[in-house]
Structure 1
Amino acid sequence: MIMKRVYLLFFASLLILSACQNKETAEDKEVISNVPDPLTAEISSRGVNSTSKEILLEAIVTQGTKSLDHADEVTFEIRKSGEDNRQLIEADNDGYGKYRIMHTFRDDGKYIVIAHVTAGEQHVMPEKELVIKGGQHSDVN
Structure 2
Amino acid sequence: MRKLTQYVSLCGLFAFLVACSNSHEPKTSATTNSINQTQSPAENTQIVGGWAPVFLTNMDESQLDDIADGIKTNRIKRVVISYPTKMEPLAQDIHDYLLKKTNVDIPLKSIELKDTDQVKYNLTQVILTLYFS
Provide TM-score, normalisation by structure 2: 0.40
- Which of structures 1 and 2 has the larger relative contact order (alpha carbons within 8 angstroms, sep 6+)? 2
TM-score for both structures, normalised by structure 1: 0.39
Question: Comparing both structures, which one devotes a greater share of its residues to strand?
Answer: 1
More helix by share: 2
